[in-house]
Amino acid sequence: MPSTIGVLKPHISINVRNVERSIAFYRQMLGIEPSKVRTGYAKFDIQNPPLNLALNEVADLTGAGALSHLGFQVASTDDVLAIRKEWAEAGLITRDEMDTNC
């Protein structure tokens, strides 16, 4: 990625069967509270090592697997658009999910 992009930290989103039980597990493992919790979703904003960890509740993981998606948390929408442009110019296929907030 170009040095002008404000990458803040890697982002990992995983599917879990029960978000409340998973919150309890990661709270104990990481020693921090989730930064965001809503029905079927939680996010831990880990500082050391830097990581944005999201938990998505999926009742039936058959076929879905544990990994939902990977990414980079960046500073702004402009950074997302700049990365998308650079990747497209390099011949990579990109898929837009505008107005998405993990």
Q: What is the CATH classification number for the domain harbouring 41?
A: 3.10.180.10
Residue 68 lies in a domain: yes
Domain count, the chain: 1
Residue 101's pLDDT is: 60
For residue 50, give every residue at least 6 positions away whose Cβ sits within 8 Å of its Cβ, in sequence order, or none.
Answer: 8, 9, 10
Residue numbers of the chain with a pLDDT score lower than 70: 1-3, 98-102
Per-residue model confidence (pLDDT) at position 79: 87
Give the structural domain span for 48.
8-73
- Residue 2: per-residue pLDDT: 52
96, with CB counted inside 10 A (0-12, 13-18, 19+), is: exposed
Residue 99 lies in a domain: no
Residue 1 lies in a domain: no
| Conformation bin of residue 41: beta by default, left when phi > 0, alpha when psi is -120 to 50 | beta
- Between strands 41-47 and 50-57, the pairing is antiparallel
pTM: 0.76
Is residue 101 assigned to a domain? no
Give a yes or no: residue 19 inside a domain.
yes
- The pLDDT score that the predictor gives to residue 1 is 52
**Is 87 among the domain residues?**
no
In a domain, 89, yes or no: no
